[in-house]
Amino acid sequence: MALTHIIAVEVEARFPFQSLDVYIAARELAALVHGARVADGELRDQATRAAKSVFLNLCEGLPSDSGPMRRKHFALANGSLHELVGALDLACAIGALAPEPARRAQALAVRVKRMLRALLTARVG
């Protein structure tokens, strides 16, 4: 089952930040984690909350015109991204997550991390 469903929304009805690669990758990462079926309940909850936090903090930071607010939300997203990677790595290590979804999530997390790093150092305005 494909986890990348596109919402049928008119292009004009979308916010500009919804077209950014970082938004799309973070959304895909959150959807992948949600569908990954981590067998350990605590790690599933932790990973799911962290993935949602990455995405939602990006959604708060991307449209902001305030440099400090953007950096705050991007830093929170970055921390949650590392928490997510750790939870999935541990889940895989203890046999609570199959290697393939863990590999796909890791690859997406690396993509998001690179974009977050660029956002954290970018100047607003």
Per-residue pLDDT, 123? 78
* Radius of gyration, CA atoms only, the chain: 15
What DSSP element (H or E) covers 107?
A: helix 99-121
pLDDT in tens, 81-108: 999 999 999 999 999 999 999 999 999 9
pTM of the model: 0.88
Side chain identity at residue 8, one-letter code: A
Complete DSSP assignment for 33-91: HHHS--SSHHHHHHHHHHHHHHHHHHHHHTT---HHHHHHHHHHHHHHHHHHHHHHHHH
**Cβ-based neighbours of 83, under 8 Å, separated by 6 or more:** 46, 50, 53
Stretch among 6-15, 27-36, 65-74, 106-115 having the lowest mean pLDDT:
6-15
pLDDT in tens, 27-62: 999 999 999 999 999 999 999 999 999 999 999 999
User: Could you tell me the two tokens for 22?
Assistant: 């970082």
